[in-house]
Chains A and B, each alone.
Chain A
């Protein structure tokens, strides 16, 4: 069964450093997403991406964050100047369509900012 793959599975970074989280969505999916879960809290929407541009972003997704689809397969989340509160599990997801289709999630990247 097709999977969404995320790398790395764990990343530890120093406060102020930049990190790039990588995702390979399912090849025939058109919509891509980033979500995150801070420990003990709900899974939160960050951004959705369609047709090579951001279609929606949450209040969390400020200028510190950016997404890119640098080639036909990868979908990346960049966090500039990381803060302690950015520590979370970051999930990438993709879907065939916006209406009525479930998302396929990756297994996440655990980001720890120290």
Chain B
């Protein structure tokens, strides 16, 4: 059974702190790794899609790295703001089935206090 693990489960930081979360996934037959930001009562919002080992992507204060050989991705938030409070989901797809089938982790819930 393919499994995606995210840590920590939840995180409380002060405004201005930088933080990072981890996503672990099976390294065999890797196809793509997605990161989504999900605020309560809203749609999950795509942050990054990464496909190549060593990929690094950046969007404002948020960046992500990918290591497909060891099966992990890090998401970094620099200078957290209260509006960054959300659940951050990672999802993985592989060549085993259809590449459209995303396998999600449980998410990391981030709370940023002003």
Contacts and interface: CB of A to CB of B under 8 A. Distances in A.
Interface of A: 3-4, 31, 33, 35, 41-45, 48, 50, 55-56, 58, 91, 95, 98-108
B40 to A, nearest CB: 10
Interface in B43-72: 43-49, 51
Contact of B43 (A56, A58, A98, A105): A105
Contacts, number: 63
Interface residues of B, number: 26
B25 to A, nearest CB: 13
B32 A44 contact: no
A56 B49 contact: no
Nearest to B100: A48
Interface of B: 4, 32, 34, 36, 41-49, 51, 89, 91, 97-106
Contacts of B103: 45
Nearest to B32: A100
Nearest to A50: B100
6 contacts: A4-B43, A42-B4, A48-B100, A100-B51, A102-B34, A103-B102
Contact of A106 (B43, B48, B101): B43
Nearest to A37: B104
Given A4-B43, A104-B46, A55 B98 contact: yes
B43 A108 contact: yes
Given A42-B106, A100-B32, 11 more contacts: A3-B43, A48-B101, A50-B100, A55-B100, A56-B100, A99-B32, A99-B51, A100-B49, A103-B46, A106-B43, A108-B43
